Chains A and B, each alone.
Chain A
Amino acid sequence: MHIPDGILPAQVCAAGYAVTGVATWYSLRQINRRPDPAAEVPKASLLTAAFFVASSIYIPVPPASVHLILNGLLGVVLGYFAFPAILIGLFFQALVIGHGGLTTLGVNATMMGVPALLAYHIFQTRNILGKMLPEPTRTGVFAFLGGSLGLGIAALIFLALIVFNIPAELNAGAEQAAVLTLSVGHIPLAIVEGVFTAMLVLFLRRVKPELLEG
C-alpha cells in the first residue's frame, strides 16, 4: 500500500510532508509531556523493527496480493510513539526494501500514521464505550477495532489519494477498477491485523499490563 515515487503530483507530496511535520511535532510534544519520555522507547523501537519487516510479508488475496502494514497495531500498543515509529519505519523501507519512496515519504507517513493515532484513541475509549463488556473481552474487542480500523482508514486514504490523482492520460475507469480491487483486498487483511492486534494486546495484558496503560 506504499505509494512509490512518481505517482502523485508534487503538490500532494508537499502537502503530505506538511501534515507529517505537524503530526510528528504534535506526537513528540505529547511524548515529551510524560514523566519519563524515554521510558517507552524500547517498546517503540522493537515495534518499529516489526513494522519495518511486516511489509515484506505478503498475503495472497486473489486477484491481488497485499502485505501486512501493522499501523493499527502500532497505534494501539504505542500511542503517540506510533507516529514517529511509522515515519522511521517507512524511511528505512523506502531506502532499504524499496517500498514507497523518499518524495512520497510524507504522504505515506500521513496515510499510515494518522490512522494509527486514531486507532490509539479508539483503543483508549474502551473504558468509556465498552462498559457493558466484561474486562478481557472489552480489551480484546477494542484492540481488534483499533487494529482493523487503523488499517481500514489507511486503505481508504490510499484509495482516495489514487482515485483523485489519476493523470489525465490514463484510462481512468481501468485505473479506478484496479485500485478498487486492491483496496477490497485490504478488508481480509484488516480482519487479520485486527485479530493479531487483539492477540498481542491480550497477551501483553496477561504478562505485562503496565505496557498498555500509555
Chain B
Amino acid sequence: MSQITPRPGRIQRAPEGFLSPEQIREVSAGRRDFLRTAFASASMVVAGTSVARAADGDPAILTLPEHSTTLGRPVAERPYGAPSQFEAGLRRRESPGLTRVAGSSVSFSPLQGLFGIITPSGLHFERHHQGWHDIDPARHRLMINGLVKEARVYTMDDLMRLPSVSRIHFIECGANTGMEWGNVAVPTVQYSHGMLSCSEFTGVPLSVLLDDCGIDRKRAKFVLAEGADGSSMTRTISLDRALDDVLVAWGQNGEMLRPENGYPLRLVVPGVQGVSWVKWLRRIEVGDQPWATKDEAVHYIDLMPDGTHRQYTSIQECKSVITTPSGGQTLLDKGFHNITGLAWSGRGKVKRVDVSVDGGRNWRTARLETPVLSKALTRFNIDWVWDGSPAILQSRAIDETGYVQPTYAQLRAVRGTRSIYHNNAIQSWKLADSGDVSNVQVF
C-alpha cells in the first residue's frame, strides 16, 4: 500500500494495552500528542527506568525482557500443549438467556479472533441435547441394520482398519444467526455466527459400510443415524446423500474427535446442518420412509409466513460474514486495514465473495485464500484504507451453482421473520467515526 506513509510516531503505539477506551478513541480521532505522555508513564511501569530513556526508542527493544535473559522451560512440561496465557479472551461462550439448562445448550466459537479456515478443536462450537460424555472407545459399537442383507456390528478396532479418507468440511447449526431473524439481538460475530466450525475429519465413507452390509438398493430410500448419548439423538438422511459424501468419522484435525464433538465416532454430513452430524454415533438403520424424529418434527422445522412449517430442511445455503472488523470491536486507527471473513456453501465451492463498505451501494471482489474446497469454510481478504468516516461493512458470497447470498429484505420477503432456522442473510457491521463497530441490519 504505497499511499500509506509510515508514520514516525508508530513505534510509540506499543503501550496500547495501557490506554483506556476513551484514550484509544482519542488516538483514533488523530489526537496522538497525549500518547507521548501515556507512553512515558507506561514505560516507567514496565521498565522502571527514566522517562528520558523513552526518547531513545521503544523500551520493548531497549530493555531486554526476562525471556531474553533467562532460561526457558523444558520440553514436555505440558505434554498436551495449551494456548498462551495471553489468549484467554478467545473462548467458547454461551449466549446468556438463550437456553436455560447447560446440558441442552449451545456454546459459540470465537470467530472474531480465528485465522484461516480450520477451527481449533478446543474452540469448536458445541450443541448438546442431553449433555456430553467421554465414552470409553473400547466399549463403543456401531450397528447397521434395517434394509440390509445382514445387520452388522463394528467395534472401533474394526472401523479404524477400513480404508479411511480425510476431508475438510464446515459444520453449521441450522439455528446459526437464528436470534437475528427479527432484529439485531447480539453484539458480536461470536454470538451471531459462532455456531460454525470447520475441521479436517477422518473416517470411512458411509457408503463403504452400507455396501459391506449388503444394502437393499431397490427398497432403501433413507437412513436413520442414532447417537449413543442419553437423548440418543436421531436424524433422517436421504439415501442419495448417504451414498454421496457422508463419512463415519473418528478423526478431527489430526487427532481423535473431542468428547464434546462426539468421541469416538460421529457422522459427518457435508453441507447439511449440524444436527444431522450425529455425535457418539451408535447405529445406522436403512429404511424406506423418513422417521419424523423429535429434531425433525418438533425442532429444526422452519415456520413460514403462511403458518406451515418446512420439515426436513437440511442444506445450509451459501453464506458469508466479515469476522474482522466485526461487532464489538474497535479499530485502533485510520489507515490501512485488512477486511477478512469466512464464506461457505452447503451446495459446493464458494466461487466469489464481494465486499461493500458503503452499506451495499458499491461492491469490490475480495481475494479467496486457498484452499477453496467444496462444503468447507473459505477465507476471504480485501485491502481497505479507512479514512475515518462512518462506514457499513458487508460481505456477499456466491457459490458454484451461481446462488448469491440474499439480503435481509429478500430473505424475509419469502420466509418472514419467525423461522429461527437457516438465516443466511448478508450481515452488516456499522463502523462509527470513533472506530467502534456494531451490529446493524440494513435494508
A and B: real partners?
Answer: no
